[in-house]
Structure 1
Amino acid sequence: MGLKQVVSICFTILTLAEKHGCQNARFDNVDYTKLDLMSPNVAVASMDNGVPLITGDTLAKEVSRNDILLIMCYVPWDPKYQAKIKNFETVAKLVLANTEDAMLAKLDMAAEPVAARAVEVQPPELQFILYFRGAAYNVDEFPNAKALAAMVKKLSQKNFEVPQLPYGEIPIKNLSKPDFDKVTNHKEFSLVIFYLPGSSAGERLLYSFELGIHKIKKDKRFGYYKFDATDKPDTLQRFGITKLPALKMFRKGKVFDYRGPKVNPEGITQYLTWHAREPYTEMSHPDDLEKFLKEHGERATVVGFFASKTLSKFQDFVDVAQDYRDEHNFILMPTPMVSQKGSTDEPVQAPGWTLAVILPKRWRTPDDEKKAVLHQEDASYEMIKDFVRWKTTPLAGERTFENAKSLYSLRPLVVAYAKIDWSKTGKKDTEYYRDKVAHAAKDHKDTLFAICNSDNFTQEMERFGFNLDPKYDIHVGILGKDGEYYPRWDTAHMSSKMISEFVNQYKAGEVKPFFRSKSKQQDDPNVLELSSDTFNSKILHSDSHALVLFYHPLSRNWWTAEQSLRALAKDPEFRRRDVIFAQIDASNNDLPSDISLSTYPSIALIPKDNKDNMINYPGELFEEHMVRHFLFEELGKLHKSKPKTEL
């Protein structure tokens, strides 16, 4: 049986399951061994729950052996991975059992760093990489198993070919360093992709953008370029680029971040077409504005009234509009006609400029301004930007996954979690919660407030330590400027006054951050078992060097790291050199925000004389001799760096 037939059966199973109302759990009782399908009995190196695992040793083999190889690149503690893995495994098992030239496999980026480096993916972000007849492509996340099966079915068509550009077409041109400023300053709009030639990640990104840009109508005012970043650290530093490949947009030389799609060519086409246009919509009559507000009432609208585009502040308006066009509507209108005092002459256009911000009706509470106005001839660009940022944000707007990193990236941020439901049955309760938070926010104009749908932010609520008992209809906490989580104790029917008082207490330094803290029983006298509560006292406030293992029980190779740590802890040489050894379970303990780890396990040396300078073990393998070499080397450096008076 061919792959096409196998996936058709898979697709039918998924469709029938969905038709009968089954959701994610619909595959739990499927006995794949009893499906009427022929099994080629394919041999694979290693499996996890019936799905092949990609390793550094098997990657090249599986790429060459399979016409279709779809790899889920993940870390096992990632909630997004945990939400998708069951559906992925369902389709993967069906494909594996019934075809010899296709495979859905998993790559644990933490446990298989060699393979992750070869594929050019980095933890902790969940990613999907498709190898089709040996060539690598980025793939969008699938919403459910049916969508995944549909994609595999499409790939399995006999005459399927990946989309290619017309022969000879080059939608993305090379941009050299000497020409960089000349080109980006001249073009009204340009996109630059910074990449390294030969990089798989760079080539995958370029492919998606080539297909997307190919569909954009040609216009000499716009340009799309790729920049070879090899040995050009000064250029990367100039634009704040720390990771490649990277994207930046330019308007007459001014740089802006690219925040659009990076995989789907259609999404790329739409995003770049939208951004190549002016960041505002031009109107001339108040009736046009009124109609626009009725049709686009879900977002805040910024209206710039300008007597002329030659005014110096007009370019500031355009730049601010470009910064926030993904979040808000921007309208350009002429200043109104006014009669001259004491004159019978025809009305004339008012001079100067004015900005007005109109909040969407849904988020306009009794405590919000219906319209905010800025009219100050000498206003600076930063003043205009701050005005737009603050006035477009309601006293209690809704924070979502989509706007959390843009509109609600300021800290501190007061967040209230409640059931958000704008349907007819839930609208009244939602407005009640919104108004309650807004009433508290009006007393704290220097602090940003937001409400969040508690159904969508359960992990963040757990990080705050909230009691999720339904009797608590609203939970309030503060995402601190220091990166920590400051919860207000749960109270049934919390009032606006309670919320406001809690914010005052935070500002006065009277609220302590919350850390989940739980240590397991110490079973090795040479290795401390730490919790969040004891990390400070036993490590940061100790008079010794500390070698600490940060681990997660779901990590496949943390046990190797632990055995190495225990072996080193027995060495009397390290006791003589004043080193203590410890480990902490990151699944049960929250670490201080200044300790940032992208993967587990991680090992770090914390020097006794400089606790803020944590030295991370750079190795990918945790064999004892490797960690030993690292520890000896770093202790030697610390000894040499001491002032002579201390030697």
Structure 2
Amino acid sequence: MIRRRSVVPNVSSPSFCTPLIAVTLSALFLLVRLNSARGDFGNEATESEANGQKESGQFLQEDGIFVLRDGTFDSFLSQNPTVLVEFYAPWCGHCKQLTPEYVKAAAQLADSVPLAKVDATVETKLAERFKIQGYPTIKLWKDGQTEPTDFDGERDAEGIVQWIKLKTDPNYKPPPEEVVALTRQTFDEFVGDKPLVLVEFYAPWCGHCKQLAPEYEEAAKRLKKHGIPLAKVDSTVEKKLSDEYAVKGFPTLKILRNGRRFDYNGPREADGIVSYMLDQAKPAVNRLNSVKDVLKFMSPSDVTVVGFFSSESGAFYEAFADAAERTRGDFAVGYALDGAIAQHFGAKFGEVVLFWPEIFHSEYEPKRKTFPRETATSEELVSFWRDNAIPLVGQMTRANSATRYHRRPLVAVYYNVDFSLAYRDGTQFWRKKVLAIAKKYSKQNYHFAVADEEEFSSELNAVGLGTSGLEQNVIVFGVDGKKYPMDPEKYDENLEENLANFLEDIGKGKVKPFVKSQPVPKDDKKGAPVRTLVAENFAKIVNDEANDALVEFYAPWCGHCKAFEPKYKQFATKHSKEEPNLIVAKFDASENDVPEGYAVEGFPTIYFVPSGKKDKPIKYGGNRDLEDLAKFVKKHAVASFKKQEIRDEL
């Protein structure tokens, strides 16, 4: 956006040289400055106004948001007993995402509650005064109260406005939600007779669930006219129902079709949810009525499944249609009923064929694969499709990495992958180099893929390859769950030769896996109530068989973690002296790779690791209070709590 600035005439110009005009202009400029300082010089826009800023009394406004500083904060609150204040950092990504929504909310609330902001990186005294530990932090001062209320609503304009009204207007009633809340009593009846339903299993304390909520509600509003309902289940209340649906983390989304359940593997923002569910409403299998239809249906960049049948009846066709339903979004599935079409493609009735696109053809493998039988269950067909969906060296993308490239070991080669006509030759040049190695190592159950370096830049940066300077970078994802980046200092230039040497070195145990870890804290002491763990020292401390270990996986920015911190420290302090064989520790899962065997899908997540069972950590599922936590630890303790009971006062 171009910011226009007021242009001041050049007073040294010959046309402004006469003394009278010079004096007049000087007086005029002085008047302009005086009146501009007071903010009442006609209707002329100042430079600050052109940039979205303006003075409102003695307080600066920016796009309708009051900008507060240490020197103006208290006076603003004295004049505005009820105000919402955002503490932010200019570099914070979440703050940047919030900004347009905060501005919209300010416009809607302009006549009732002012919205303000404080740059906490500049106004450090205010940040310290109100104990700001993460960004953005939003607080409401209501009716002149000295202690503010932390904002815990949705971070969009609608959510902010509704939250403010609920807190400040006793007569306000929020509009009804389009997302239907289900219980054990209402669930079966609601989903049983509907052709398509999306259900979210959530926990009220889950940060990811809160982020999803406004997007999910917006999607529900837009999908209503298409007859696709969205529902939700509170898993902290409906535990048995959640167990029936194998809910292991939050949020978990399930698609139900006339009572049958499928995993939701789509996006988690409103536009993506709507698009994904509209696709889900389309037929899972497409009828193809001509050779031209089949050719047009075939994907130029992915495998295509085509069944050739004599009719739309029979057990095999029904299994085929059911398999298509089970793999929606993962495969393009079509069928033809014309014998001439089957003959054109060298097939016959009763055959199901997987066609690979031309860009993945190679001399080392067939161009298609046919299911070996003319009878099968849908499970057998799905298994065959998934087992044969990727060529010897295919392309891993964001969309298919979880479904196609989840098997290990996986060798991923990253470079400028682009199969468009202009860049296809260059892309295929390097892919063929990888093919030669893949042919050899596929016998050792290695899987291979090429991937675009821009699409996976975050993964490359995470293992230190983002600035390697090489045209191609390699990461091997091992069966042990660890990542092995190819060292650019040791393996450079010749891709084919170096890739072969790298895989040989991995096989000989000469390559160390990459582990993202913060430095081991220098001030960590064995006697400290709460030990600080990082990836580098996790196994050494937690897996010590002499001790039981209680570990909290947290993120510094997590509000629930901050609220739980004093309770956790209180528990640790109480038992640090009484139980020398109990380690109470915390682990920043946002800055360290989570060790294998620990599923961390939300914060905080707590595990107890008893002596003698270090390979079977026990996840805590109780309330975040001292009594429940103490009972949990006592129940599973092996090396600790041998001589005394946990006191009731906890």
TM-score (norm 2): 0.64
Contact (CA 8 Å) 1:306, 1:314: kept in 2 or not? yes
Tell whether the 8 Å contact from 1:173 to 1:226 is kept in structure 2 after alignment: yes
Q: Deviations over 1:292-348 (max 9, x none)?
A: 44xx523332111112222212122222222333233222112525999xxxxxxxx
Please state how far the C-alpha of 1:289 moved relative to its aligned partner.
1.7
**Equivalence for 1:522:** 523
Q: Does the 8 A contact of 1:71 with 1:130 survive in 2?
A: no
Aligned equivalents of 2:557 and 2:213: distance in 1? 32
Kindly indicate whether the alpha-carbon contact (under 8 Å) linking 1:617 and 1:627 is maintained by their aligned counterparts in 2: no
2:221 to 198, 211, 229: 211
- What are the superposed Cα offsets for residues 477-530 of structure 1, whole Å, 9 maximum, x if unpaired? 222344322334441135446545655765787755322453242375734765
Following superposition, the deviation at residue 574 of structure 1 comes to 2.0
Instruction: Tell whether 2:600 aligns with 1:594.
Output: no
Please, which of 38, 62, 86 is the counterpart of residue 55 of structure 2? 38
Aligned CA distance change for structure 1 residues 545 and 214 (closer, same or farther; 3 Å):
closer
Amino acid at match of 1:360: P
Change (3 A) 1:453 1:263: closer
Distance 1:290 1:502 in 2: 41
| Corresponding residue number in structure 2 for 1:392 | 389
Out of 587, 611, 626, the position equivalent to 2:614 is 611
- 1:430-460 superposed Cα distances (whole Å, 9 cap, x missing partner): 2222222233333416443222222332332
Q: Report which of the two structures shows the higher radius of gyration computed on alpha carbons.
A: 2
**For residues 557-596 of structure 1, what are the structure 2 equivalents within 5 Å?**
574=577, 577-579=580-582, 589-596=592-599
Matched-pair contact (CA < 8 Å) for 1:395–1:448: yes
Contact 1:359 / 1:371 at 8 angstroms: preserved in 2? yes
User: Counterpart in 2 of 1:451?
Assistant: 450
Q: How many residues align?
A: 542
What are structure 1's unaligned runs of at least 5 residues? 1-10, 15-29, 53-61, 122-126, 138-163, 341-348
Separation (CA, whole Å) in 2 of partners of 1:381 and 1:205:
34
Gaps of 5+ in 2: 5-46, 71-79, 120-131, 141-148, 166-174, 644-650
Q: Which amino acid aligns with 1:513?
A: P
> Which residue of structure 2 lines up, in the alignment, with residue 285 of structure 1?
290
Indicate the SS of the match to 1:452.
strand
Counterpart Cα distance in 2 of 1:487 and 1:569: 38
Is 1:432 paired with 2:460? no
Match of 2:316 in 1: 313
Amino acid at match of 1:484: K
Tell me the distance in 2 between the aligned counterparts of 1:591 and 1:487.
18
Q: Which residue of 2 aligns with 1:23?
A: none
Q: 2:300 aligns with which of 283, 297, 309?
A: 297
Contact 2:549–2:583 (8 Å) recurs in 1: yes
How big is the shift at 1:354? 1.0
Q: Report the TM-score when normalising by structure 1.
A: 0.64
CA 1:396/1:31 → structure 2, altered by over 3 Å: closer, same or farther? farther
CA contact (8 A) 2:555 2:604 kept: yes
Matches within 5 A, 1:375-414: 375-414=372-411
Say if 2:482 is the partner of 1:477.
Answer: no
Q: Assess if the C-alpha contact under 8 Å between 1:249 and 1:255 holds in 2.
A: yes
1:95-114 aligned at under 5 Å gives the runs 101=114
Letter in 2 for 1:408: Y
Shift, 1:110, TM fit? 10
1: distance between equivalents of 2:184 and 2:606?
A: 40
- Report the residue type matching 1:256 in the other structure: F
**What is the alpha-carbon distance in structure 2 between the residues aligned to residue 545 and residue 515 of structure 1?**
24
Deviation track 1:406-431 (CA, whole Å, cap 9, x = no partner) reads 33333443222222245666443322
Query: How do 1:183-222 residues align onto structure 2 when only pairs under 5 Å count?
Result: 189-193=195-199, 204=214, 207-216=217-226
Residue 110 of structure 1 contacts residue 555 of structure 1 at CA under 8 Å; is this kept in 2? no
* Larger RCO: 1 or 2 (CA < 8 Å, sep 6+): 1
Q: Residue 289 of structure 2 contacts residue 336 of structure 2 at CA under 8 Å; is this kept in 1?
A: yes
State the distance in 1 between where 2:86 and 2:338 align: 57
What percentage of residue pairs aligned between the two structures are identical?
21
Q: How far apart, in 2, do the equivalents of 1:225 and 1:556 lie?
A: 28
